[in-house]
């Protein structure tokens, strides 16, 4: 992803010597999520530490506090950008050489931004060749302004850590989907407080990413007479409709088959009725992710903060399977 080529040149990672452990910082306007994950061959990945820090500023002091509390030294770092800081668009790639294709993508990217393209970082996530029935060569183009990214990189370097790459939440969720699911046509549904995100994958390729403006707060309606939580029918019907549209797009428009499995992540504990609704509506294996069952938890893992660190954990799974 962004900057990776520059940093890998310095770190000299070879294909069979990719890091099997990663420290990830997910930066949000309201705070920072951190996760340290080590991948082990033929065993559960280990979450050595995770944390959530409420702060409106990402500073050297914030990082130094985490370094001292969780012994973060000597871990390669990946950064997850806040969603407000980047755009991700599906574009058609011209049938030309790689360098010319990248120039064409940059030209298209300039239509989506209000700052000069020379001030942007642009990267491409290619779709599988068989997508769109092989008739069109498509890719996601990811665009962000370089100056805020380089500021964050500089903060981490000042704290004495080495930045390996800069990534986006969509790919972190792709990593989680690959780790949690056992089928090649799979996906992840992340239910945040005020929105949801569904990402569908063809093997390890991200092919569908859809943000849905319905979150856990909208799915639940409080019954004041019983002091209980009920599901909001209008909201969950809307969520089901958007999920169905995403799965239909995967099957019909992309021509990539039928989704076999979707794992569900939520920032809060949802009632079983939500999962019952999902099971009734879709003819696929839908299961709730329990991080403490899928991962081995290290002594510095904060169990009560795991739900706040889903994306950071996914970001730290960048090179799952690379260990050994």
CATH class of 182-289: alpha beta
Q: What is the pLDDT of residue 40?
A: 87
The per-residue pLDDT for range 6-22, each reduced to its tens digit, is 433 233 333 345 678 99
Domain ranges for the chain: 4-83+148-172+296-316, 86-145, 182-289
Burial of 23 (0-12, 13-18, 19+ CB in 10 A): buried
Q: Annotate 113-177 with DSSP letters as a single string.
A: -SS-GGGEEEEEEEPPTTGGGGT--EEEEEEEEHHHHHHHHHHHHHTT-EEEEEE-HHHHHHHHH
State how far Cα 71 lies from the chain centre: 25
The pLDDT of residue 226 is: 43
DSSP conformational letter for 249: I
Report CA torsion sign: 58, 62, 66, 71: positive
CA distance 244 to 240: 6
Collapsed DSSP state (helix, strand, coil) of residue 39: coil
The reported pLDDT for the residue numbered 175 is 94
d(CA 35, CA 52): 9
- Rounded to whole angstroms, the Cα distance separating 177 from 319 reads 13
Cβ atoms of 250 and 200 within 8 Å: the answer is yes
pLDDT at 2: 60
The C-alpha R_g of the chain, in whole angstroms, comes to 20
- Provide φ and ψ at 51, rounded to 5°: -160, 160
User: Which CATH code fits 86-145?
Assistant: 3.30.1490.300
Nearest to 21 by CA among 9, 33, 35, 34: 35
* Residues making up the chain, counted from first to last: 324
Instruction: Tell me if 4-83+148-172+296-316 shares its fold with 86-145.
Output: no
In which element (H, E) is residue 26 found?
Answer: strand 21-28
Q: Could you tell me the CATH superfamily of domain 4-83+148-172+296-316?
A: ATPase, nucleotide binding domain (3.30.420.40)
- Provide the residue-wise pLDDT of the chain in tens; the chain has 324 residues: 665 444 332 333 333 456 789 999 999 999 999 999 999 888 899 999 999 999 999 999 999 999 999 999 889 999 999 989 999 999 998 888 878 888 888 889 999 999 999 999 999 999 999 999 888 889 999 999 999 999 999 999 999 999 999 999 999 999 999 999 989 999 999 999 899 999 999 999 999 999 999 999 888 865 433 444 556 788 889 999 999 999 999 999 999 999 999 999 998 888 888 888 888 899 899 999 989 999 999 999 999 999 999 999 999 998 764 333
Beta sheet of 285-288, edge-to-edge order? 205-212, 196-202, 185-191, 261-266, 285-288
């Amino acid at each position: 992803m962004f900057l990776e080529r520059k940093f890998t040149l310095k770190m000299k990672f070879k294909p069979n010597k990719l890091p099997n452990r990663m420290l990830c910082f997910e930066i949000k306007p309201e705070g920072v999520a951190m996760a340290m994950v080590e991948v082990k061959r033929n065993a559960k990945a280990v979450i050595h530490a995770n944390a959530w820090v409420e702060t409106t500023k990402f500073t050297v002091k914030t990082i130094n506090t985490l370094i001292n509390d969780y012994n973060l030294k000597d871990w390669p770092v990946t950064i997850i950008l806040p969603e407000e800081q980047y755009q991700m668009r599906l574009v058609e790639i011209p049938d030309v050489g790689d360098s010319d294709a990248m120039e064409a993508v940059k030209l298209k990217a300039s239509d989506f931004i209000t700052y000069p393209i020379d001030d942007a970082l642009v990267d491409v996530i290619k779709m599988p060749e068989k997508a769109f029935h092989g008739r069109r060569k498509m890719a996601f183009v990811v665009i962000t302004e370089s100056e805020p990214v380089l500021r964050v990189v500089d903060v981490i370097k000042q704290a004495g850590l080495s930045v390996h790459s800069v990534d986006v939440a969509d790919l972190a969720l792709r990593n989680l989907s690959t780790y949690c699911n056992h089928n090649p046509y799979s996906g992840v549904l992340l239910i945040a407080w005020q929105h949801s995100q569904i990402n569908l994958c063809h093997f390890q390729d991200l092919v569908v990413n859809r943000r849905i403006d319905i979150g856990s707060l909208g799915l639940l309606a409080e019954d004041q007479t019983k002091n209980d939580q009920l599901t909001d029918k209008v909201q969950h019907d809307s969520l089901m409709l958007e999920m169905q549209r995403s799965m239909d797009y995967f099957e019909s428009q992309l021509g990539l088959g039928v989704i076999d499995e979707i794992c569900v992540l939520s920032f809060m504990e949802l009632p079983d009725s939500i999962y019952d609704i999902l099971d009734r509506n879709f003819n696929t294996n839908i299961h709730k992710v329990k991080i403490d069952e899928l991962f081995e938890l290290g002594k510095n893992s904060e169990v009560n903060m795991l739900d706040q660190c889903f994306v950071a954990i996914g970001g730290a799974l960048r090179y799952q399977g690379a260990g050994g």
